[in-house]
Amino acid sequence: MNKPLRLLASLALAGSALAAHAAATITVINGDPPNVGFNDPTAVAPVGGNSGTTLGQQRLNVYQAVAAKWGTELNSTVPILVYATWEALTCDESSAVLGSAGAVFVNANFPNAPFTDTWYNSALANKLAGSDLSEGDPTSTDPAVIVGADIRARFNANLGNATCLPGAPFYLGLDNAHGNLVDFYSVLLHELGHGLGFQVLTNSQTGKRIGNPALPSMWERFMLDTDTNTTWFAMTDRQRKKSAVNFQGLVWTGASVTAGAPLVLSAGKAEAILNTARNPKTFNVGTAEFGPALTPAGITDFPATIVTQAGELGPGCSPYDAGNAAAVNGQIAVVDRGGCAFVIKTKNAQNAGAVAVVIVNNVAGGPISPAGSDPTIVIPTVGVSMDDGTAIKNSIKPRRSASLTLHLNTTLLAGADASDRVFLYTPNPLEGGSSVSHWDTSATRNLLMEPFINDDLNHEVKVPSDLTLQLFIDIGW
Ligand SMILES: [Zn+2]
């Protein structure tokens, strides 16, 4: 049996049908000093089914509720230990690190391991082996290692204070009535999900495997690059590094997730079609957070480019002059990324009469999914890659241009490929800490293990609400 490998902090990337009596015990270890975090004595009013009367007690109550939730969904005879603290994580008045969690130990070549020479996070390895493979190491300086914790979790103790996203603390109710606040129950359900096995382990920035000897992780056999039709298990480091930024080109092939996908995801993959006479081309698009969603019928019109105006911050960042307004009126405005917010670009195009906007990436790689908020925007916006944007621009001629269709392809699920295999999150360029160990943001309905906590999550982890448990079943839970 290989010795358990202790995951270094830099490698903690985030951060079978279940029996009728599925159960696991998840124990939360309070690692906070007096008066901090779980021990914070600040008086608070009970909220949303959380009866705690101190901030610390309310935090602990959410932990207990989420630990109990995962405990009812998973099955293990070995208690799962979560070492948890609240700390002063990076934040300022406009942004904050909420927290993170990941496995502390990984194990390989233990009794009943589904695959030899393959790393498993310790909570899953213990379940499969039926014994605790990662007992504490009293010689360590890391308290989570000393106690043999399976999962290390830390959250931002200052969230909502005057210097850390003021006015936006975690919602500590248990009833999901979070309003505009961040629902801590959902965040914790997500973060413990990473620690329980929703974590690739292999380094997605370098493609390198962890450990000495370096071994594949339990995820790799289920990760298929659809461009090369090769799994991460069969790739070189260099190939994995490339695959990690293959936008909507890396899918999960596990049978449980694939069978569950049509029960959770809705039909309708967003795409753009350039209707050239001889050879129509279909492009992947990123959909915008603002404006109306695309529809199956969609919008078909001619694409039109604009000219960057004198003195503006970037293309389409200022109200259009007469020439640009005439170009896009009644057409789909094709605007390069850069210089100002996406909502400003779309609003200026809308004011000039455009029927939709295509934002062309200004760096190599995949399309962007334009972020932002502006309730006055009434036309749809999508992002395309630089290469696809160039193809669209090159189709524009003084006469007989090809039309462009922006729509939902209802023969495909939102968030999966044509074989219902769900996309992993592979933006280009890579997003350290987020890439690969999440589902792609195109998934609709929204999934718990997307890289952002969406407002419409419902505290469930399996079909028909979610696919996290289905992935866990695929890897051996
Ligand atoms: Zn995450």
| Cα–Cα dist 388/428, whole Å | 14
Distance 99 CA to ligand 1 centre (A): 9
Does pLDDT of 278 surpass 60? yes
pLDDT of residue 3: 55
Chosen CATH of 267-413 out of 3.20.20.210, 3.40.190.10, 3.50.30.30, 2.40.240.20: 3.50.30.30
DSSP state of 19: -
Please tell me the distance between residue 426's alpha carbon and the centre of ligand 1 in angstroms: 13
446-465: pLDDT as tens digits: 999 999 888 899 999 999 99
Q: Are 185 and 65 in contact (CB under 8 A)?
A: yes
Domain extents in the chain: 5-199, 267-413
Neighbours of ion ligand 1 (CB under 5 A): 14
Question: From ligand 1's centre to the CA of 449, what distance in Å?
Answer: 6
> Which amino acid would we find at residue 146?
I
CA of 54 from ligand 1 middle (Å) equals 28
Going from the Cα of 103 to the center of ligand 1, the distance in angstroms, rounded, reads 13
3-state DSSP assignment of residue 302: coil
Q: How far is the CA of 201 from the centre of ligand 1 (A)?
A: 13
Percent of the chain clearing pLDDT 70 (strictly above)? 95
> Which structure tokens are listed for 400?
């007989």
Measured in Å, residue 152 CA sits from the centre of ligand 1 at 14
The pLDDT score that the predictor gives to residue 245 is: 94
At 22, the pLDDT band (50, 70, 90 cuts) reads low
Contact 170, 179 (CB under 8 A): no
Tell me the Cα Rg of the chain.
24
Helix (H, G, I), strand (E, B) or coil at 12: coil
| Residue 167 confidence (pLDDT) | 87
Cα(434) to centroid(ligand 1), Å: 6
Phi, psi of 323 (to 5 degrees): -65, -50
Q: At what angle do helices 184-196 and 122-129 cross, to 10 degrees?
A: 60
Smallest CA-to-CA distance from 160 within 186, 184, 194, 177 is with 184
Distance 457 CA to ligand 1 centre (A): 14
pLDDT of residue 17: 35
Banded model confidence at residue 9, pLDDT cuts 50, 70, 90: very low
- The alpha carbon of 472 and the centre of ligand 1 are apart by a number of angstroms equal to 15
Q: How far is the CA of 451 from the centre of ligand 1 (A)?
A: 5
Q: What is the pLDDT of residues 312-344, one digit of tens each?
A: 999 999 999 999 999 999 999 999 999 999 999
**C-alpha 360 to ligand 1 mean position (Å):** 27
Average pLDDT of 395-413?
90
How many angstroms separate the CA atoms of 120 and 101, rounded? 16
**Helical axes 468-475 vs 255-264, angle rounded to 10°:** 170
Give per-residue pLDDT as tens, 338-376: 999 999 999 999 999 999 999 999 988 888 889 888 999
Strand order in the sheet with 381-384: 286-287, 381-384, 356-360, 332-336, 303-305
Distance in Å, CA 255 to ligand 1 centroid: 23
Contact criterion met (CB below 8 Å) for 226 and 250: yes
